[in-house]
Amino acid sequence: MKLVFMGTPESAVPTLRRCVEEGHEVLGVWTQPDRPAGRGNRLKAPPVKEFALLKGLAVHQPSKIRTEEALALFKEREFDAAVVVAYGRILPPAFLRAPRLGCVNVHFSLLPKYRGAAPVNWAIVRGERETGVTTMLMDEGLDTGPVLLQRSTQIEEGETAPRLLERLSHVGAELLVETLARFGELEPRAQHDEAATLAPILRREDGLIDWSLDAAQIEHRVRGLQPWPNAFTTHHGRRLIVWHAEARAREAEDGEATAGTLVVARGDDLITACGGGTTLKLLEVQPEGKQRMRARDFINGSRVQAGEKLG
């Protein structure tokens, strides 16, 4: 097929790679503009652009997509389909109508569950045990288009959002290849809107830990809110990110401390009281202005004591 590829982050690269490997003619790659990054605020190219340039593909990075110039560029050559993977912009109706076969989206959830910007994160935060990838024909709604193919996978014990997204990116690449190969025989299936759940864009405040939740819910947030905004609290008024934690039942030695209180702070054990008679063992944290560290190093370096309150 003759394709236009639209994507930006690392999770979109495997699909672009497979399109090239399968012999599809990629007429152009659309991605977000280079952005300042790092301490020097130097412009950094999106991962999709870097891969596309390595393969000698034409790259387009319009700062605005709802312009006549952008549409004219998109329609400059006739092509069969646009493949869209985490492009980062909502396509205007004229873009959706331009390809002969339409725009095919690779979405990292089992639609209609988790429509929106952060499906992988919210699936973990909400304690799902299964997720997957969907290919669909895009329409003007938010991830509401008819489904072409789906593939499910179990969320592994202790799996973080970055690790799950990395796995799903490869599942999605293979599913897209299958979708294009079988395009003529697939019957698009309408989604059941009444079964839909939303996965809105993450906000910084989503990461603030509510210690009144039970420990399992907080542990889900620790894994699901990586790499941003992270699950965080405060210690002595300074931000403390929790990178790795383990939910457990409250034991006799933990006492009846209120939620957010450190009930144990010795050796490798940094344990916080949570809601529902549970506790959370903090295994890896990052104090403000410092590197990630094991609980033991945080206890020793910050002279943490049982009875102190987090948050």
Residue 1: per-residue pLDDT = 97
Rounded mean pLDDT, 185-204 = 97
pLDDT > 70 fraction of the chain, expressed in percent and rounded: 98
pLDDT tens string 93-112: 999 999 999 999 999 999 99
Q: Which residues contact 187 (CB under 8 A, 6 or more apart)?
A: none
Residue 63 pLDDT level (bands cut at 50, 70, 90): very high
Alpha-helical runs (H) found in 196-307: 215-224, 295-302
Sign, CA dihedral 134-93-20-17, equals negative
pLDDT tens string 31-41: 999 999 887 88
SS3 of 166, please? helix
Strands 81-85 vs 103-107: parallel, antiparallel or unpaired: parallel
Domains in the chain: ranges and CATH: 2-195 (3.40.50.170), 204-302 (3.10.25.10)
Residue 249 pLDDT level (bands cut at 50, 70, 90): confident
| Average pLDDT of the chain, as a whole number | 96
pLDDT tens string 39-60: 788 999 999 999 999 999 999 9
Q: Quick check: 305 pLDDT over 70?
A: yes
Q: Residue 219's CB: how many other CB atoms inside 10 A?
A: 25
pLDDT > 90 fraction of the chain, expressed in percent and rounded: 95
Residue 2: per-residue pLDDT = 98
Structure tokens at 142: 């938010």
Residue 162 pLDDT level (bands cut at 50, 70, 90): very high
Rounded mean pLDDT, 168-196 = 97
Rounded mean pLDDT, 184-193 = 97
Rounded mean pLDDT, 109-123 = 98
Q: What is the pTM for the complete model shown?
A: 0.95
